């Protein structure tokens, strides 16, 4: 189905910039960048998928069944996203909050042209209908002149709720926790701008430069744009092996090396942050156990501190072996939405989230990634991300955190501002 060609690369970093810039000519773009993180769990340094041959776009109704049929029928590489509101397909839930973005709940496409950067090589995997363009495209990419980034026009960002309203909602969330309705829930707030025109591509480049996370993504599907600096993996399948890496626990970075090390150690020893992480790990273990071989679910890392450019994070790694009779899409359906963006118990937490939040989450706290022809997949968690509809010129980013019995509303608000810092910076030029 695809013709593959591999070429050596003299300057992979430069070629990666050229490849991304070359992609702007296409209507559909999926760009996934690991930012050269030295990780055993990574497979490609960067992936570019462009120019849809086929696609699926739908609301939440029977969305996972439709995705399963599409994935099995194409039996090819497909790229796209799952929005948070697919929860309504998985459970008897609803989404009735304000939605300024109007994205489809699920959108995947089968690219005509697929390019990997990997271990000093560039790999082309083109459908046969366009495979005669490989060498011409390689020439164009290698000779593509990357223009210096133009200054983005500052965007005035507004909060959907005031600080006072946020604090009141956290107190209501704590009431639910103290009553025993839930143990933990992820509460989010939206920042937005209306009637704005942005260059999503340049803003992605600026945000990635600031954050350089391991699961960065730039997605352009028609007028639907995602600019993601996500540090979090939702779920990966490689053969029978499943890996989920939930993040819970955040602390700022410091310029001073000693102070920065102290902050990381304090995060590692913080009982409130640990409890957040452990509760979500238990939820992930429970989700995976429903589709895993008996006894295969394991916690490989618990509450390990990882340092990123903007923040320190507590990350755990949960592994499992998928049972023989479980289709790939079923692994996603069973564990979606991810525990780190919902809470425990999951269904109760999602109901309370819907009641207290003001905005429909949509693609935020959903997932972006890909399937391979043999049914493997890898998806991030859509956090630290700007979402933009270029048709109605609505821009949005949301931030949040896990609320537990020990949460301090003021500290939770400060954590939100910390997570929003990079996105606000690239949008306001401050």
- Can you tell me which residue has the tokens 């692994």? 331
For the segment 266-284, what is each residue's pLDDT rounded down to a tens digit? 999 999 899 989 999 999 9
pTM: 0.95
Q: In 93-180, where does DSSP find H-type helix?
A: 134-142, 163-179
The closest of 307, 312, 308, 330 to 235, measured between CA atoms, is 330
> Tell me, what DSSP letter sits at residue 341?
G
For the chain, give the percent of residues with pLDDT over 90. 91
pLDDT of residue 41: 52
Q: What secondary structure does DSSP assign to 120-165, as a single string?
A: TEEEEEEEGGGGGGHHHHHHHHHT--PPPPPPPPP---EESS-HHH
Asked if the model's pLDDT at residue 55 lies above 70, the reply is yes
Asked if the model's pLDDT at residue 40 lies above 90, the reply is no
What are the φ and ψ backbone dihedral angles of 126, each rounded to 5 degrees?
-105, 145
398, containing H or E segment: strand 394-403
pLDDT category, 161, cuts 50, 70, 90?
A: very high
Mean pLDDT confidence for 221-228: 98
Residue 34 vs residues 53, 216, 232: alpha-carbon distances, Å? 26, 6, 11
Asked if the model's pLDDT at residue 306 lies above 60, the reply is yes
For the segment 231-258, what is each residue's pLDDT rounded down to a tens digit? 999 999 999 999 999 999 899 999 999 9
**Residue extents of the structural domains in the chain:** 2-141+150-428
For the segment 339-392, what is each residue's pLDDT rounded down to a tens digit? 999 999 999 999 999 999 999 999 999 999 999 999 999 999 999 999 999 999
Domain spanning 2-141+150-428, CATH class: alpha beta
The full length of the chain comes to 430
Residue 379 β-bridge partners? 235, 369
For the chain, give the percent of residues with pLDDT over 70. 98
For the segment 98-131, what is each residue's pLDDT rounded down to a tens digit? 999 999 999 999 999 999 999 889 999 999 999 9
110, containing H or E segment: strand 106-118
Q: What secondary structure does DSSP assign to 213-245, as a single string?
A: -TEEEEEEETTEEEEEEE--EEEEEETTEEEEE
| Cα–Cα distance for residue pair 85/246, rounded to 1 Å | 19
Half-sphere exposure of 426 (CA within 13 A, CB side): 27
pLDDT category, 132, cuts 50, 70, 90?
A: very high
Residue 118 β-bridge partners? 121
- Can you tell me which residue has the tokens 């995060």? 267
The closest of 345, 357, 350, 239 to 287, measured between CA atoms, is 345
pLDDT of residue 310: 85
Instruction: Print burial letters for 94-120: b (CB count within 10 Å at least 16), e (below 16).
Output: ebebeebbebbbbbbbbbbbbbbbbee
| Cα–Cα distance for residue pair 47/79, rounded to 1 Å | 10
pLDDT of residue 42: 57
Evaluated on CA atoms 221, 336, 418, 316, the torsion sign reads: negative
The closest of 10, 11, 17, 23 to 35, measured between CA atoms, is 17
Compute the mean pLDDT over every residue in the chain, rounded to the nearest whole number: 95
Mean pLDDT confidence for 83-93: 97
């Amino acid at each position: 189905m695809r013709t593959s060609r591999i070429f050596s690369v003299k300057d992979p970093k430069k070629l990666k910039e050229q490849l991304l810039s070359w992609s702007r000519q296409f209507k559909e773009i999926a760009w996934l960048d690991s930012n050269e993180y030295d990780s055993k769990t990574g497979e490609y340094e960067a992936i570019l998928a462009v120019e849809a041959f086929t696609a699926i776009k739908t609301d939440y109704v029977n969305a996972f069944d439709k995705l399963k049929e599409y994935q099995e029928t194409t039996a090819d590489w497909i790229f796209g996203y799952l929005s948070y509101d697919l929860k309504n397909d998985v459970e008897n839930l609803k989404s009735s909050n304000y939605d300024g973005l109007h994205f489809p709940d699920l959108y995947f496409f089968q690219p005509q042209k697929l390019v990997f950067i990997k271990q000093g090589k560039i790999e082309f995997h083109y459908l046969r209908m366009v495979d005669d363009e490989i060498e011409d495209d390689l020439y164009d990419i290698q000779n593509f002149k990357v223009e210096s980034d133009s200054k983005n026009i500052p965007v005035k960002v507004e909060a959907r709720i005031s600080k006072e309203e946020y604090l009141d909602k956290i107190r209501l969330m704590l009431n639910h926790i103290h009553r025993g309705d839930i143990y933990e829930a992820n509460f989010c707030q939206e920042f937005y701008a209306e009637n704005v025109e942005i260059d999503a591509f340049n803003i992605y480049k600026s945000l990635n430069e600031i954050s350089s996370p391991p699961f960065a993504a730039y997605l352009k599907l028609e007028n639907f744009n995602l600019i993601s600096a996500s540090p979090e993996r939702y779920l990966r399948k490689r053969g029978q092996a499943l890996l989920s890496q939930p993040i819970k626990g955040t602390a700022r970075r410091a310029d001073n090396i000693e102070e920065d090390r102290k902050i990381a150690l304090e995060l590692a020893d913080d009982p409130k942050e640990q409890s957040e992480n452990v509760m979500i790990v238990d939820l992930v273990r429970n989700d995976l156990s429903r589709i895993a071989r008996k006894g295969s679910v394991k916690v490989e890392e618990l509450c390990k501190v990882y340092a990123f450019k903007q923040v320190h994070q507590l990350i755990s790694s949960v592994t499992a072996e998928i049972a023989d009779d479980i289709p790939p899409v079923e692994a996603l359906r069973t564990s979606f939405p991810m525990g780190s963006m919902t809470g425990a118990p999951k269904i109760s937490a999602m109901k309370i989230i819907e009641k207290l939040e003001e905005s429909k989450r949509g693609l935020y706290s959903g997932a972006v990634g890909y399937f391979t022809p043999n049914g493997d997949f890898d998806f991030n968690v859509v956090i630290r991300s700007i979402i933009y509809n270029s048709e109605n010129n609505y821009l949005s980013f949301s931030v949040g955190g896990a609320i537990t019995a020990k949460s301090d509303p003021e500290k939770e608000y400060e954590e939100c501002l910390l997570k929003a810092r990079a996105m606000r910076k690239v949008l306001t030029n401050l």
